[in-house]
Chain A
Amino acid sequence: MRKLVASAIALAASAFVAVAPTASSAKTITLCWAAWDPANALVELSKDFTAKSGVDMKFEFVPWPNFADRMLNELNSKGKLCDLLIGDSQWIGGAAENGHYVKLNDFFGKEGIKMDDFMPATVLGYSEWPKGTPNYWALPAMGDALGWTYRKDWFAKPELRAEFKKQYNRELEVPKTLDELTDIAKFFQGRDVDGKKVYGAAIFTERGSEGITMGVSNFLYPNGFKYDDPKKPYAMEGFVNSAGAVKGLEAYKALYKCCTPPGYTDAYMGEGLDAFKSGQVALQMNWFAFFPGLYKDEKVGGDKIGFFVNPKGPAGSGSQLGGQGLSVVSYSPNQAEALAYIKWFANPEIQKKWWSLGGYSAHKAVLNDPGFAKTAPFAADFLVAMGQVVDFWAEPSYAQLLLAEQKRIHDYVVADKGTAKEALDGIIKDWTKVFKDDGKL
């Protein structure tokens, strides 16, 4: 027994020794991002930076459902884990006003990095705060928008084409409107294809972070939903809950109810990828960021997969903006090296390599290149999408606004509470309260 106690004490003592902080090397910086395909591409790309500057790169990747929580927590606790952070576009307001990011105007000026070299939608979405003013807090790093993939091989099957034509009196093609998309989903729901039962569409329904809001926006924007009056900021009545917005929300719920796989009540990017890759669904809503990886997939890639941009609605078109900007964390002790990384990353040659590895460059040198649309089957759709992107609020209290919409939309779409108009009215009520607390209303 004595020996047991002695060894336990030794173990505990060593625990305290293990706790002592180790000396950190000044030549390593940590970049934090979400754990997804483009992050792996960035690891590969960054080897060039290490070769050129001698600074080693460490990476901290967190899966999307936990990314916002963990990183915002990190920033709010003034953590030193990240020197560079590729943060979501919605965080810009909070990060700028609470001093989490380093303002980059001076650095850009000194190093000759011009925001004009980047696509305007990305500069507005990922770098500027306040919006529409030349105050830059990030370098646009990853352009992204919500798009769709579909099983091209299923669409090519003659028997399915014939059946579809008979039912809907038009060809089984890429849908041009949201209604056409719903028809296609209905057509495939429960159908036997290649000996297995398949379902219509994999859409976003995630409750915890931002999933269902991102998904429903793709149906709301083309139906006329606006966050506020373009002429009167924060005036939401009639814009958030316009008749078109109500119809759009109802259509999303109808699509969820009729044409999704069983148990699809809390699904986001990962679940969509799993559903599509395992051959469960004909259509998949997901970020363009995943399309390079899907195209290379051995089971559903290549000829089997096709892509299309978010279809039109009665009020026009719109795609939910994704994407992130690269920022320097103001609590980092290695800001010089972090800024050097940004300078390296902004180089047009590096941007071209970034695109070739699977990262969506926002640099005009890449996107405006005449051959760009042919570089990948989804490239042309990406350009169209980026031309019609709409983003969620980037206010400092964006999290409250997002959580309110998450709750109301999930309550209506998945938990069958109330009507679409009540959900949207509820969102206006919640958002008004937030803006009043902030002094904006």
Chain B
Amino acid sequence: MLDKILTENFRRTLKMVFTDINNQQDRRDEHEFAKDEVRIKERLLDTFTTHRHDVILENDFRIAAIDGSGTDSLMTLDDIRIHLLSTSTVVVDTNTQSENLFSPIERDTLENELGEQPHIDIHWHSGVRGDARNKLAETLASIYPLKDVASLTLPFFKDHTKGEIASFSDFGDTEYEKHVPRLRELESLISREQLLTNPTVHEEIRKTSEYAAARRLLMSDIQPKYLLLDGALSVFMHFVRHYPSMPSGFMLRDVCALARQKNVVLCAVSKNHTIPFAHRIAGMAREKFGASAKWFCHLPSREDPEGGLHIYEDRTYIPPMLAVPYLYSFSRDNRPSRIDFDRIWWLENIFVPGDPGATRSNEKTLFAELEFMSRDARWYGYPVPLALAHESCKLSYEDLRLAKEVCMDVRSEMGLEMRKAEPLRADYDL
């Protein structure tokens, strides 16, 4: 293959693709961006005063972070795939008073409250019709701590309808009335049955496992000020029924509601994001505040004063439903990341109607704290609790190899038929 990649012909093909992108997408985006440029620069982009490195906070606080990892093919037995998931919760304390900044709380304390860390889940399903959905529902039900499906679904509707639906009796005369029977069983909340591929199933369990960990944390006595998740606070909707197409969407809103109730700032950070023109916004920030500045940029939605930005007008899920995304950078060496907040919390705690100055002031306080927790030299610019959670849960190639060996070992211990755990293609060295 290398002989092809290194040819002039390959370069020509690439040139054609880039020209194509440039002609179609970039030109359109440039046009749209031009409309947003002044607004971004003047009113959405800002910097903030960072905490001194030797600051002593009057009230030190805890920050929790949750991350998950896994594989959808721990072992393949004909059409059965065994999934392995690991979810980790890390809690750090700002500890400015003891000068031992952001040190994780004792593992014993954490495990007493939340159970073993990282937490391991296993799932399997076969190719038999309906099995994926049945087993997925079973697994989700066993993982998520809130077992009452009606209570699970309600927070979404409550937030989505701005409080119009506050209980099941409020569904009458709404577009959801006809779907109420579906909202009583977890299995019937899985409305993307046709798309239940292994990666989709895996992703759904992974999210559920993370949200389950979040729920457990919020219900515990740990009482963090922040709870950080990895990714985005996106809820994927069923296009016809207008509610989440998978149970994890409801779970996310359940967690958001619980976080608000417990006074915890819930946010989700994504290094990998698809915010268009992020590099141009970063360039603007450099130009406006200097190369070493730490900055954030609000990405408003249609419902905000002045409406949403033109650059993501036609991009689904930006901003995500019921969430407020920001672009931010705390390190000159890294590309900007995205952080999402629960919109309901944001409206209650950050946004001050009719007072953009007060809103901005709240944002600055928020980002100063987020930046303070993102100064670990190992992952400078990225929140350290999330990085620690990631380190704790990640399943390396070597871990997976060993897990596969353990699988074979256990089967042999049980006297079951000997089956290799490596992918089938490994037999041919492919």
Do they bind each other? Answer: no
